[in-house]
Amino acid sequence: MSLHLVAPPQTLDIPGGGDVLHALPFAAYTTDSEGRITAFNEAAASLWGRRPHLGEEYWCGSHKLYWADGRAMAHDECPMAATLKTGEAVRGAEAILERPDGSRIQFMPYPTALKDAKGRVTGGINILVDITDRINADRANGHLGAIVESSDDAIISKNLSGIILSWNKGAERLFGYSADEAIGQHVSMLIPQDRQNEEPGIIERIRSGERIDHYETLRLHRDGTLVDISLTVSPVKNAQGIVIGASKIARDNSERKRAEQAKDLLLHEIKHRVKNTLGTVQAIAAQTFRGGLRQDRDAFNGRLRALSDAHDILTQQDWDHVSMRDMIQRSLTPFREKCTARFEVSGEDVILRANPALLLAMAIHELATNAVKYGALSNETGTVTLAWSISGTGNARKLAMEWRENGGPPVGAPERKGFGSTLIERALRQEEGRSCFQFLPEGMVCSLEMKL
């Protein structure tokens, strides 16, 4: 590392001055009493992004200077110039320097006037400390602090002994304690007596560096009431990566729990009413079919059971969406019990809305019932292949499904359209779909299309 030194009109009385600058790990330079730069070290050249001309440039080697608020600063206004003029060190004046390439560095200057035995200023030395990282960290911490303080969630930090170190407004709202009341207390004050064993387990997991996500539990409000919360706990580490504490984010789950309970109650009531309605229809049908053909009564009851099963699956899925594969498997279960290993089912799983799911369940019931009576499942050797595919995206997605029978009795086209095929056609039209029946020598084939 080389130093650039000149012999100005007034030399500085620093024993071994060049060696001193060279040894410093931070940016430093010297001037004469007029402010001409007389020496600088490599750290200063690196900070400035340039090498000033010794004895020709004044006060600072920066390409450009700015005040901390961004206003342009003339070189003769810089802290080094002020220090040389008054002889008194100007400290605490943060500034910004701009390199020739346009990049900017925030720094803190520490100028000192050098004086002779009579107290006359003979020159100066300035140390420049890069504070860009600190400023960025302070800014980030300020943003983080604002986010934490304004968060609706309770955000708390504690040490590994469980002592609360910080407490935001969200924590005040959720638990009822002010920051002054909570900070310094043990976190166990928030834990119900029957859940005190949770905290040691959480601390042990945090010590090992583990993060705990969405842990649902109960905590105590200041007034003694229990609060349903979802808890996320993360380890806090020091600069050496050692875990020194934990941050907790607690979200109030009370409203969600109440909503879930209300929804479960409503679904239970819907399920109860649907079953009662189907039971009433079944009783009416039994009276209506009295004296009629048994097979007609059995067919009608089978359709009601298929509809009831489909409703059961939807109820289990919150009456919203259901897996197509689950729906098909459930619809085929009664027939598979009688015809083991005679079904081949393939196709990607897809989530169905309630209406398409009900229609699909009814269609499969009709096809399977027909196969048991007249088709591939009416003997001991026939098989059924059920395959489907999905095309399109978004609201344009469509389902194409094929029911293909093989190995059953010889098949011929029926003289008239049966109730089952009519039911399928009408049901599919409700979902902008269509059906096609082919009565091939090897077995019946039904192709269905419907909008998802």
Give residue-wise pLDDT tens across range 394-423: 778 888 999 999 998 888 787 777 666 777
Residue 171 CB partners (closer than 8 Å, separation 6+)? 154, 155, 156, 177, 179, 182, 250
Q: How far are the Cα atoms of 63, 69, 105 from residue 101, in angstroms, in the given order?
A: 9, 21, 12
What is residue 417's predicted lDDT score, i.e. its pLDDT? 72
Percent of the chain with pLDDT over 90: 38
- The domains of the chain, with CATH numbers, are 17-136 (3.30.450.20), 151-252 (3.30.450.20), 256-451 (3.30.565.10)
Q: Of 35, 242, 228, nearest to 122 (Cα)?
A: 35
Residue 350's pLDDT is 84
pLDDT over 90 at 25, yes or no = no
Q: How far is 78 from 98, CA to CA, in rounded Å?
A: 14
The two three-digit tokens of residue 75, written as one number? 């070189």
* DSSP one-letter string for 326-357: HHHHHHHHHHHHHSTT-EEEE----EEEHHHH
pLDDT band with cut points at 50, 70 and 90 for residue 291: low
Q: Which residues contact 102 (CB under 8 A, 6 or more apart)?
A: none
For the stretch 74-112, pLDDT in tens is 999 999 999 999 999 988 888 999 999 999 999 999 999
How far, in whole angstroms, is CA 438 from its chain's centroid?
A: 50
Please compute Rg for the chain using Cα positions.
41
Residue 375 contacts residue 334 (beta carbons within 8 Å): no
Structural contact between residues 80 and 124, judged by C-beta atoms closer than 8 angstroms? yes
What SS3 state is found at 442? coil
Concatenated DSSP letters for 279-326? HHHHHHHHHHTTTS-HHHHHHHHHHHHHHHHHHHHHHHTTTTEEEHHH
Q: What sign for the dihedral angle of Cα 40, 42, 43, 48? A: positive
Whether 256 and 216 have beta carbons less than 8 Å apart is answered as no
For range 183-193, the mean pLDDT: 93
